[in-house]
Amino acid sequence: MDHILRNLNYLFTTYPLDFYAYFFLLVPLSVAVYRRGFLTPALLLISYYLCGRFISDTVMLYYSLIPQNNLNLSKVIILVDVLFIGRFYFVSLTGNSFSGRLTVVATTIVFCAALVNYLSDGPLSVGRSGLRLLMVVLALTYFNKILAENQIKKVVLHAAFWVSAGFLFYGAGTLMIAVSADYLQKAPQDVYDVYANMDQMISILFSCLAAVGLWMSKFDQDNYYTGIV
């Protein structure tokens, strides 16, 4: 137990942003609980995704305190993330056949690539990069849908807009970090710390945007020229 506490103190003093990003996940989760009566099926999926992410980060933290290799666990988490994000956009893009098909195809390709990478004991960068590309592609697809259909009265009150903005910022902002994941594991400590802190700062931004989106769920109910699609 003393060993775990010493490791916890070391990690907190060395990588405080990791813990800030970890606890910031509780912000959108708290908003989801508070706004639970206004959550659409798509926003419920995001709430479950955030809950799963908090649990997986907790397990990853525990592994780092033991310590124990968490490479395979990281790859499994990526597979689950791909399915949640793909499902979220499939539900959100209902009514647009092209966007729906694109979501299914993109999600399937990324999931299969991540699964093969997991089974073949490939580098972690493959799954991480694929997940972030998926976030960017599907977020942009969603933005194109809402602009083309023009059914939303005020986009700033549209919950999925903020969630998609979070995915876009996170995916695009951490893509190069994900691509370089294997290199960074072997890089000098000061280089690794810069990129690790950047990743956590963008993660905090994602949590904030997701929280705004979930908060807007109340105002999004009557924010359509037609019924919710």
pLDDT digits (tens, 9 = 90+) for 7-18: 888 888 888 999
Cα end-to-end span (Å), the chain: 52
pLDDT tens for 114-167 read 999 999 988 889 999 999 999 999 999 999 999 988 889 999 999 999 999 999
Residue 159 lies in a domain: yes
96-101 contacts: CB < 8 A, separation 24 or more?
96/145, 96/149, 99/141, 99/142, 99/144, 99/145
Residue 228 lies in a domain: no
- Is residue 217 pLDDT above 70, yes or no? yes
CA distance 58 to 62: 6
Contact by Cβ (8 Å): 131, 170: no
Residue 192 lies in a domain: yes
Domain containing residue 41? 2-218
Contact by Cβ (8 Å): 203, 22: no
Residue 180 lies in a domain: yes
Residue 37 lies in a domain: yes
pLDDT tens for 68-115 read 888 899 999 999 999 999 999 999 988 768 888 999 999 999 999 999
- Is residue 229 pLDDT above 70, yes or no? no
CA distance 7 to 145: 47
Q: Total domain count for the chain?
A: 1
Enter the pTM of the model: 0.93
Residue 57 lies in a domain: yes
